[in-house]
Amino acid sequence: MADRGASEIQFEIEEMRALIEDGGALSQVLSGFCHRQEQEDLLVRMAEALAGEEFLLAEAGTGVGKSLAYLIPAVFWARSTRNRVVVATRTKALQDQLIKEDLPLLQKALPFGFFYALAKGRENYLCRRKLTDLVSRGFNLQPEEQEFLRQVVVWASRTRTGDRQELHMDNELLQHWPLVACDWRSCLREQCSFQDSCFRQRMIKRAESADIVVTNHALLLTSARIGNGVLPEFKYLIIDEAHNLERQAFDHFSLTFNRAEVRDILNSLSQKQRGVQIGFLVMLQNRHPSMRARLEQAHKLVEDCRQEVDNFFKHITRGVPRTTRDNSFSLHWKEGSGPLPEEMVEVFVGLDTVMASLLGVLQEFQRDLQDSPEALEIAGLIERLTECVQGIQIIMNEALGDPEQVVWIDFWYGRAAAVSASPLRIGNLLDNSLYEHLASLIMVSATLTIAEDFAYFIERNGLEAYRGEKLATITRQSPFDYDSNCRMYVVNDLANPGHRDYERQCGDFLQEFLEKVPGRTLVLFTSRRMLLDTAAGLRPHLEEQGIRLLVQHQDGEFNTLIADLVTAERAVLMGVDTFWEGVDLKGENLTCLVMVRLPFRPPSDPLTSAWQDYYRNNGENGFYRYSLPDAVLRFKQGMGRLIRSELDWGAAVILDRRLAAPPRGKSYGQMFHRSLPERRVVEISRNEAGREVSDWLNSFA
Ligand code: SF4
């Protein structure tokens, strides 16, 4: 098709509509493409939102074709008005789909050309300066790091993007990527002699000249937080997978005092390995014998710092019940609950003092080492340590006790790993740092509404102020035939999830059920501990039956587990977290979905706990205002794993009687039912489930 000049491109909705008609340009470049009214409705509404400078919330069920519905008007808008449009996704899978499939497809189908670029965080790109420094100095590297470096040097000589995604390397070796990755602390910017060939700079230039910039939520939030050229300027934004933007922003805007980060800094300064003292301070000692006395003092401060950090985490976790040490725990020193325990104040002062002393000594070295080859390295260490010191000072002196801040401890295998703080009202922050600067915003997802109502999403994401003229909504259901192809079974005679018999009954039930059900099954858990306990009980039995059991955290990473599930004839995949959202398996690859428990977040979840407190203090019910709608949205995401295409069929089995009709179930179960496209819900007993579900699945054979 002949390319049109920019001045000839009009923002004509009819022209966009014609592209997705049967026999239109898209059907000529994509075999099997057919017109869908739901997609057309979305496309038209999104085009109107861009042209009318509206904020639009769009819920589109699976299979509507939402990405083309927003990309087509976005490209027309960018080319006809010379306004760049940024598209942000949460997952890499969707990012890949946009970059590798949808946008190239549109380049073929549209009657004019356009440019698009992928913008990733700087840590994804190779830093040529760091690589050159490492190769030329080469000291202090372990054999594995040397092997990593050897492979990177070969790759660096031929890569055009410097994007780590292109580096095919063993995971063990890839963990050394930070050695050569761009990072803001050590980047020399204008003073860098590699500036002209810098991969990150090239990416920024590409993005600056692009009509459509695809990025991820994390980089979008970084750009909102610090601005400063992270992304090229934009006023038109599309956020796909918008359903958990609030959660991501909560993490992103948080301050963290991370035990591993402090340990890493201290180890870089001085540590003992196989009986030998190594690190930056040792290197200085060898090169600058005149600094010996001060270096010895620094060694001692490093040791003191290690002890104070351990002491701090030991004290701050006192009183945290062992059972909640699975993930996160909110601290409850809130305004009005009195001063910090005296002992804790002393512990923090001890830590603060020793870190400040170490920082002071390092700054003295930095002054002495100006213009020496070590100056850059010590500057990086000082910057990292300063960030830790400032972080913990703000958390302990300001955030703790402030009702507008949430403070929590993260645990890793039962051990305190970090203390963090983040603002409670993330929506306000999103408004001030992001929405306020936009002409038009489109937020898209398959799960934005509760029983077709956007109110919860609007409140959570700080969009209240735009209600009325500026904020519009549209919902389009999935075009798939759920009534014929899908059944949801609620097992109604298990103990309540809070009951002590529940987990044992679930394990017993799954053992019998999985043996009877044909094909491939995904079992979703809400707790890692329960996942691992259940898997341990089931594994010998399932293996005896020739059923392959694949367990998150045990049998591989996400992609490996999915690949293994698809290649096995009969298999069960069990997971938590990402598996509720990231699984996209069509046809026979997934025909049965089991949800062990409704996905209510535990009371230890920092954001949930903080909002529960907030509503309680304001005389409202935190469960109905926060926990329930949050669980409904997560449940919708989980259910969305089952039917992924027009030809899919399957059964969803819910092991949580709260979804059954009262009196066995809870009245709020209706909220879950009314939010789903699946209308055929069958209550069933434990004894019947295996036979009923396998009969239903076999009817499609
Ligand atoms: S400009 Fe910064 S990121 Fe790029 S090569 Fe130089 S130091 Fe590395």
**Taking Cα atoms as reference points, which of 464, 379, 484, 405 lies closest to residue 696?**
484
Tell the residue number behind the tokens 């890692």, with chain if given: 528
Is 7's pLDDT higher than 80? Answer: no
Report the pLDDT value the prediction gives residue 276, as an integer from 0 to 100: 83
Q: Are residues 686 and 545 in the same domain?
A: yes
Report the alpha-carbon distance of residue 613 to residue 674 in Å, rounded. 28
- 82 domain-assigned: no
Alpha carbon distance 349, 262 (integer Å)? 17
Q: Does 158 fall in a domain?
A: no
pLDDT on residue 333: 57
Q: Which residue from 200, 205, 376, 377 has its CB within 8 A of the most atoms of ligand 1, so it is best to mutate?
A: 200
| Whether the CB of 90 sits within 6 Å of ligand 1 | no
* Ligand 1: centre distance to CA 376 (Å): 13
Q: Choose from 179-188, 366-375, 457-466 the range with maximum mean pLDDT.
A: 457-466
Of 126, 195, 204, 230, the one to substitute when testing ligand 1's pocket (max ligand atoms within 8 A of C-beta) is 195
Atom of ligand 1 minimally distant from the CA of 128: 5
Of 118-132, 312-326, 358-372, minimum mean pLDDT range: 312-326
Residues in the chain: 701
For 464-519, the pLDDT digits (tens) are 999 988 999 999 999 999 989 999 999 999 999 999 999 999 999 999 999 999 99
Strands 55-60 and 440-445: parallel
Q: Closest Cα partner for 328 from 529, 534, 607, 597?
A: 607
Q: How far apart are CA 299 and CA 269, in angstroms?
A: 8
Do residues 676 and 473 touch, judged by C-beta distance below 8 A?
no
Q: Let me know whether 503 and 369 are in one domain.
A: no
Burial 469-498 (b: 16+ CB within 10 A, else e): ebbbbbbbbbebebeebbbbbbbbbbeebe
- In short, whether 180's Cβ falls inside 6 Å of ligand 1 is no
Q: Do 403 and 494 reside in the same domain of the chain?
A: no
pLDDT at 336 over 80: no
* Domain final position from 423, 440, 463: 423
Q: Is it the case that residue 423 has pLDDT exceeding 70?
A: yes
**To the nearest whole percent, how much of the chain has pLDDT over 70?**
95
Q: Is the CB of 487 under 6 A from ligand 1?
A: no
Cα(61)–Cα(40) distance, integer angstroms: 14
Q: What is the mean pLDDT of residues 175-194?
A: 88
Q: Please check whether residues 388 and 506 belong to one and the same domain.
A: no
pLDDT at 412: 80
Question: Is 192 touching ligand 1 by the criterion CB < 6 Å?
Answer: yes
CB contact at 8 A, 596 and 514: no
Output 261 or 274, whichever has higher pLDDT: 261
Q: Is residue 685 a part of any domain in this protein?
A: yes
Look up the CATH number of the domain holding residue 555: 3.40.50.300
Is residue 596, in this structure, part of any structural domain at all? yes
Pocket test for ligand 1, best of 123, 133, 199, 201 (most atoms within 8 A of CB): 201
Q: Do 617 and 506 belong together in one domain? A: yes
CA–CA gap between residue 652 and residue 543 (Å, rounded): 23
- Ligand 1: which residue has its CA nearest to atom 8? 127
Do residues 603 and 681 share a domain?
A: yes
Last residue of a domain, one of 398, 423, 448: 423
For residue 130, which atom of ligand 1 is closest to its CA? 8
The verdict on 486 and 413 lying in the same domain is: no
pLDDT band at 377 (very low <50, low <70, confident <90, very high): confident
Ligand 1, atom 6: nearest CA belongs to which residue? 192
Q: Is 18 contained in some domain?
A: no
Mean per-residue pLDDT for 640-655?
93
In this predicted structure, what is the pLDDT of residue 138? 62
114-173 pLDDT, tens digit each: 999 999 999 999 999 999 988 887 656 778 888 999 999 999 999 999 999 889 888 888
Which residue, among 594, 586, 595, 588, has the nearest Cα to 520 in the 3D structure? 588
Helix (H, G, I), strand (E, B) or coil at 657: helix
Cα 572 to middle of ligand 1, angstroms: 46
Same domain? For 556 and 419 the reply is no
Higher pLDDT, 294 or 321: 294
* Residue that is last in its domain, among 423, 443, 458: 423
For residue 182, which atom of ligand 1 is closest to its CA?
A: 3
Does any domain span residue 678? yes
Residue 101 confidence class, pLDDT cut points 50, 70, 90? very high
Which pLDDT belongs to residue 140? Answer: 66
In the three-class reduction of DSSP (H, G, I as helix; E, B as strand; rest coil), residue 373 is classed as coil
| Residue 433 in domain | no
pLDDT band at 340 (very low <50, low <70, confident <90, very high): low
Asked whether residue 513 falls in the same domain as residue 409, the answer is: no
Q: Is the pLDDT confidence value at 564 over 90?
A: yes
- pLDDT of 217 reads 96
Distance between CA atoms of 191 and 129, rounded to whole angstroms? Answer: 11
> Which ligand 1 atom minimizes the distance to the CA of 193?
6
Higher pLDDT, 385 or 320: 385
**pLDDT at 70 exceeding the cut of 70:** yes
Is residue 362 lining ligand 1, measured as CB closer than 6 Å? no
> 268-317 pLDDT, tens per residue?
899 988 788 888 898 888 888 888 888 999 999 999 999 999 999 988 88
Q: Would you say residue 497 lies in a domain?
A: yes
Q: Are residues 539 and 654 in the same domain?
A: yes
Residue 594: how many CA atoms within 13 Å on its side-chain side? 24
Given a cut of 60, whether residue 2 has pLDDT beyond it is: no
Q: Are strands 255-258 and 415-423 parallel, antiparallel or unpaired?
A: antiparallel
| 538 has pLDDT over 70 | yes
Q: In the predicted model, what is the mean pLDDT of residues 574-601?
A: 92
Q: Residue 643 in 3-state DSSP?
A: coil
Mean pLDDT of the chain: 91
Among the listed residues 40, 1, 42, 2, the one whose alpha carbon sits nearest the alpha carbon of residue 20? 40
- pLDDT above 90 covers a percentage of the chain that reads 70
**Tokens for 259?**
């035990």
Dump strand ranges (E) for 217-288.
236-239, 255-258, 271-273, 276-278
Residue nearest to atom 4 of ligand 1 (CA): 198
Cβ–Cβ < 8 Å for 47, 13: yes
Q: How much distance in Å is there from the Cα of 151 to the middle of ligand 1? A: 20
Same-domain status, 682 and 601? yes
Which of 398-402, 446-450, 527-531 has the highest mean predicted lDDT (pLDDT)?
A: 446-450
Same domain, 412 and 558: no
Q: What is the mean pLDDT of residues 77-105?
A: 95
For 596-646, how does the pLDDT look when each residue is reduced to its tens digit (9 = 90+)? 999 999 877 888 988 888 898 889 999 999 999 999 999 999 999 999 998
What pLDDT score does 3 carry?
63
**Ligand 1 centroid to 624 CA: how many Å?**
50
Instruction: Provide ipTM, 2 decimals.
Output: 0.99
Tally the domains of the chain.
2
Q: Is 193 in the pocket of ligand 1 (CB under 6 A)?
A: no
164 Cα to the center of ligand 1, angstroms? 15
Residue closest via CA to ligand 1's atom 2 equals: 187
**pLDDT score at 292:** 87
Q: Are strands 328-330 and 405-412 parallel, antiparallel or unpaired?
A: antiparallel
Give the distance (Å) from ligand 1 centre to CA of residue 121: 14
Residue 324 structural domain = 255-423
